[in-house]
Structure 1
């Protein structure tokens, strides 16, 4: 299911995706494909620009093994 985000003042696409959905640069191609003409708006999106974010699997957070030195 796709989400709709709205650009705030001074937002770049990658900043908007990171802040709102935790998505990194690997999601940019899918978002640009879902929003024809979005790249033509420039690096900084105009205030209020709607951005459709297609369903993108977010990678799971890396896990660390916990080493307990004392019981």
Structure 2
């Protein structure tokens, strides 16, 4: 599966890439900030906080597949 990309435009003061990622996905996304900088050359030149109107591509990873019920093991009870 390939990732989908979204065009994001900064519309608030004091926003960072990591904060935008957190607000978009509501969870930690290891390696995504680095992928964003790799996909958007020159984005790091803006500094830690992005100026208003900055636009960049945000990769949206495919959702994790649900676990197969046949592979989920029953808990072991010791008592």
For the criterion TM > 0.5, the same-fold answer is yes
Pick one of 2, 6, 13 that aligns with 1:3. Answer: 6
CA RMSD in angstroms, aligned pairs only: 2.1
CA distance in 2, matches of 1:25, 1:42: 21
Rounded Cα–Cα distance in structure 2 between residues aligned with 1:49 and 1:40: 12
Aligned to 1:20: 24
- Give the distance between the partners of 1:20 and 1:29, measured in 2 at CA: 16
Distance 1:45 1:25, change over 3 A: farther
**What's 1:47 paired with?**
52
For normalisation by structure 2, the TM-score amounts to: 0.62
- TM-score when scaled to structure 1? 0.68
Q: How many residues align?
A: 60
Give the greater-gyration-radius structure (CA). Answer: 2
Give the Cα separation in 2 of the matches to 1:58 and 1:18: 16
- CA deviation profile, 1:8-56 (whole Å, cap 9, x unmatched): 2110110011112335342011111111000111000001211201242
Q: Distance in 2 between matches of 1:30 and 1:14?
A: 12
